[in-house]
Amino acid sequence: MEYSSATDVGKIRQHNEDAVAVVKSGEYVLAVVADGMGGHRAGDTASRLACETLVTGFYDLQESLARNEITAWLEKAASEANRNIFEYQKVHPECRGMGTTLTAALSTVNFTAYANAGDSRLYILESGSLRQVTEDHSLVEELVRRGELSVKEAEKHPQKHVLTRALGTEKTIAVDTGVVEWKENDTILLCSDGLTNKLPDKEIEEVLQEYSLKDTAVLLIDKANERGGEDNITAAAVRNREVGI
Q: Which pLDDT tens digit goes with each residue over 117-154?
A: 999 999 999 999 999 999 999 877 777 677 767 766 66
Mean pLDDT of the 68-95 span: 95
Q: Using 50, 70 and 90 to split pLDDT, how confident is the model at 245?
A: very low
Q: For residue 66, is pLDDT > 90?
A: no
Average pLDDT along the chain: 92
Q: For residue 232, is pLDDT > 90?
A: yes
How confident is the model over 179-212, as pLDDT tens digits?
999 999 999 999 999 999 999 999 999 999 999 9
Q: How far is CA 84 from CA 17, 135, 136, 171, 200, in A?
A: 17, 24, 23, 10, 34
In this prediction, residue 153 carries a pLDDT of 65
Model pTM score = 0.93
Give 138's strand partners: 163
Dihedral sign, Cα of residue 94, residue 163, residue 112, residue 243: negative
Q: For residue 99, is pLDDT > 90?
A: yes
Whole-angstrom distance, CA of residue 196 vs CA of residue 204: 9
In this prediction, residue 161 carries a pLDDT of 75
How many C-beta neighbours within 10 Å does residue 183 have?
A: 10
How confident is the model over 156-169, as pLDDT tens digits?
666 667 899 999 99
Q: Using 50, 70 and 90 to split pLDDT, how confident is the model at 16?
A: very high
Nearest to 45 by CA among 104, 77, 116, 93: 93
Whole-angstrom distance, CA of residue 204 vs CA of residue 206: 5
Q: How far is CA 93 from CA 37, 83, 96, 97, 190, in A?
A: 15, 16, 5, 9, 31
In this prediction, residue 158 carries a pLDDT of 65
Mean pLDDT of the 33-43 span: 90
The full length of the chain comes to 245
Mean pLDDT of the 230-237 span: 97
Q: How far is CA 162 from CA 94, 138, 157, 158, in A?
A: 22, 6, 10, 9
Mean pLDDT of the 216-243 span: 95
Q: For residue 234, is pLDDT > 60?
A: yes
In this prediction, residue 64 carries a pLDDT of 83
* Superfamily, domain 2-239: PPM-type phosphatase domain (3.60.40.10)
In this prediction, residue 148 carries a pLDDT of 66
CB 23, CB 40: distance < 8 Å: no
In this prediction, residue 243 carries a pLDDT of 63
